[in-house]
């Protein structure tokens, strides 16, 4: 059982504050989720959800199942795509508050819960990062459940209750890796904390940790089997993506970029406070048999969960650039430690200044997302998000063009997988759209064309079919369009569409119409 702590009517009455803050965060994410256009990667993951499988080229399947949950309720809409991740975000936020409350000092549980809920509201990584339908949504939910269960197992110590919490922890650790391969760091951090801390090592004499490890492997095993069938394609891609050589810049610039990214998604002041709180919890571990020592042990476990993955990515940046969001799983334990820290710097002006700055930066970011005409939003990538319906409308018109009369079936395609996914989402009735992937990196569209692990492969073009394809404007796009023309009897350009709404060739696509498909040189005769 948890050590008893004083409960007063005043403390109990303060539960309305964290609940209100969690509700505010959910409402902000809901508004952004409905108004911000779908990102290309989100459309790509939505394509996965239409062909559910135990794995995909880029990631394990967690995000696809979350999206499928939402679209089963709200259909293939922006709401449907983001509904499942939005539910996961609410649960993650509540879990973070419970995690912080659990390691709070005596009599400080309600105030700590309020601080944790406030951090989940103002930190960009929490509010903005959890708007999108990405693998991080499932990863963070599984991470917070794993840490909560691990914390409860520490407190229960032994017996059926401890074993039960270890089993929940194992399921959540397995789910974290099903969400994103870096979820293995969650299990690694838990294992490291148990091995390093003397009080936690006592659990190794009991069945709980071993059952948790077994259950986590069972949860993850379908992903392993899928990879085995597909020649380990997803494992090989991610290992090369994270550890392969040839990263841009020098070691110094990559590490500086990593630091700058974290200060951006956590904001400068709160980012530093989160790091200090984790370091303090690591340094102040206590092995004495007392309630204070138990709290210290629990905080030490969270510190390991925050610092070990961070160290892993610092080392990874020695070889390849590290994306800022890759460290997202470090922030949940760090947030709990900062919210529950009773040091003056964690409660005084630095805390207040950090929260205020984070709040201002969050509002500015929201303004840039919701007001595309504002100076803050004059960014080509943001502007492009609103141009995909225009491209889809132009593609739909080209598919009806008389030039394609006499073809058997008419298909849409794009060279880039991101463009193909956006066209599939925005075209009427969400048809199959091909990704040609000429002179671009392999992706799930390639795998669907040759997959043996699933029967949910898309159809292929046959002889006599017609095609409308989108290419980036420029010399490279023109060259690729001519390559595709060699597969058909005739070809004709169908106009240029600007994604940004401005005369900017970097944000434009050239449409081409092709009639009477004759086959690709690299295509087997049985596929034509």
The string of pLDDT tens digits covering residues 376-428 is: 555 666 777 889 999 999 999 999 999 999 999 999 999 999 999 999 999 99
Specify the pTM.
0.91
Residue from 171, 165, 176 nearest 207 by CA: 165
User: Could you count the other beta carbons within 10 Å of the beta carbon of residue 356?
Assistant: 13
- C-alpha 333/C-alpha 189 separation (Å) is 11
Residue from 111, 189, 182 nearest 150 by CA: 189
337 neighbors 102 (Cβ within 8 angstroms): no
505 neighbors 518 (Cβ within 8 angstroms): no
The first and second tokens of residue 518, run together, are: 């004759």
Q: Does domain 384-527 have CATH number 3.40.50?
A: yes
433 neighbors 30 (Cβ within 8 angstroms): no
- The enclosing H or E element of 300 equals helix 291-316
Which distant-in-sequence residues (6+ apart) come within 8 Å of 53 by Cβ? 61, 64, 226, 453, 454, 456
| Residue 288: per-residue pLDDT | 58
| Residue 252: per-residue pLDDT | 84
Residue from 201, 157, 199, 202 nearest 285 by CA: 199
The first and second tokens of residue 420, run together, are: 């193909």
Grouping H, G, I as helix, E, B as strand and the rest as coil, residue 129 is coil
234 neighbors 59 (Cβ within 8 angstroms): yes
Distances (CA, A) of 230 to 82, 441, 447, 461: 29, 17, 9, 23
- The enclosing H or E element of 309 equals helix 291-316
Write the DSSP symbol of residue 76.
S
406 neighbors 515 (Cβ within 8 angstroms): yes
Find the DSSP H helices in 37-182: 40-49, 62-74, 78-102, 109-122, 124-127, 135-156, 159-179
Residue from 198, 240, 194 nearest 213 by CA: 194
User: Could you count the other beta carbons within 10 Å of the beta carbon of residue 269?
Assistant: 18
- C-alpha 323/C-alpha 176 separation (Å) is 19
Q: What is the pLDDT of residues 252-298, one digit of tens each?
A: 888 899 899 898 889 999 999 999 999 999 988 765 555 678 889 99
Domain ranges in the chain with CATH number 3.40.50: 384-527
The first and second tokens of residue 216, run together, are: 């986590």
Strands (E), 307-455: 410-414, 433-435
47 neighbors 414 (Cβ within 8 angstroms): no
140 neighbors 92 (Cβ within 8 angstroms): yes
Ranges in the chain, pLDDT < 70: 1-14, 242-247, 286-291, 372-381, 451-458, 502-505, 522-528
Residue from 144, 364, 356, 366 nearest 270 by CA: 356
């Amino acid at each position: 059982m948890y050590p008893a702590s004083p409960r007063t009517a005043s403390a109990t009455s303060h539960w309305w504050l964290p609940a209100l803050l969690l509700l505010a965060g959910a409402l902000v994410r809901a508004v952004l989720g409905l108004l911000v256009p779908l990102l290309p990667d989100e459309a790509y993951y939505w394509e996965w959800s239409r062909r559910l499988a135990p794995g995909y080229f880029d990631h394990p399947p967690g995000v696809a199942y979350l999206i499928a949950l939402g679209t089963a309720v709200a259909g293939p809409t922006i709401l449907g795509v983001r509904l499942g991740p939005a539910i996961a975000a609410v649960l993650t936020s509540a879990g973070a508050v419970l995690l912080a409350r659990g390691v709070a000092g005596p009599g400080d549980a309600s105030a700590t819960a309020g601080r944790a809920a406030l951090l989940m509201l103002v930190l960009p990584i929490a509010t903005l990062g959890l708007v999108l339908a990405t693998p991080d949504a499932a990863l963070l939910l599984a991470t917070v459940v794993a840490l909560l269960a691990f914390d409860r197992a520490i407190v229960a110590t032994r017996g059926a209750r401890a074993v039960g919490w270890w089993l929940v922890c194992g399921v959540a650790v397995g789910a974290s890796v099903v969400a994103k391969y870096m979820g293995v760091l969650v299990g690694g951090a838990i294992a490291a904390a148990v091995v390093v801390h003397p009080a936690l090592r006592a659990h190794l004499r009991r069945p709980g940790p071993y059952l948790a490890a077994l259950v986590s492997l069972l949860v993850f095993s379908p992903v392993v089997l899928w990879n085995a069938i597909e020649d380990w394609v997803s494992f090989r891609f991610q290992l090369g993506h994270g550890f392969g050589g040839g990263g841009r810049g020098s070691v110094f610039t990559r590490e500086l970029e990593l630091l700058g990214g974290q200060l951006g998604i956590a904001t400068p002041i709160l980012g530093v406070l989160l790091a200090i709180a984790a370091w303090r919890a690591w340094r102040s571990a206590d092995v004495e048999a007392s309630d204070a020592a138990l709290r210290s042990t629990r905080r030490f476990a969270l510190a390991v969960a925050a610092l070990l993955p961070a160290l892993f990515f610092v080392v990874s940046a020695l070889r390849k650039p590290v994306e800022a969001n890759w460290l997202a799983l470090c922030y949940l334990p760090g947030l709990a430690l900062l919210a529950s820290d009773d040091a003056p710097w964690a409660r005084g002006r630095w805390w207040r200044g950090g929260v205020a700055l984070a709040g201002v930066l969050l509002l500015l970011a929201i303004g840039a997302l919701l007001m595309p005409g504002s100076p803050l939003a004059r960014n080509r990538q943001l502007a492009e998000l609103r141009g995909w319906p225009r491209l889809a409308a132009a593609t739909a018109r080209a598919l009806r063009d008389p030039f394609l009369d006499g073809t058997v079936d008419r298909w849409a395609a794009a060279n880039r997988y991101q463009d193909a996914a956006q066209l599939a989402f925005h075209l009427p009735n969400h048809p199959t759209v091909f990704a040609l992937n000429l002179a671009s990196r392999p992706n799930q569209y390639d795998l669907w064309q040759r997959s043996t692990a699933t029967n949910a492969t898309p159809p292929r073009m046959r002889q006599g079919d017609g095609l409308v394809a989108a290419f980036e404007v420029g010399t490279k796009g023109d060259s690729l369009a001519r390559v595709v023309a060699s597969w058909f009897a005739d070809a004709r350009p169908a106009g240029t569409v600007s994604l940004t709404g401005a005369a900017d060739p970097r944000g434009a696509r050239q449409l081409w119409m092709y009639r009477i498909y004759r086959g690709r040189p690299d295509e087997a005769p049985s596929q034509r």
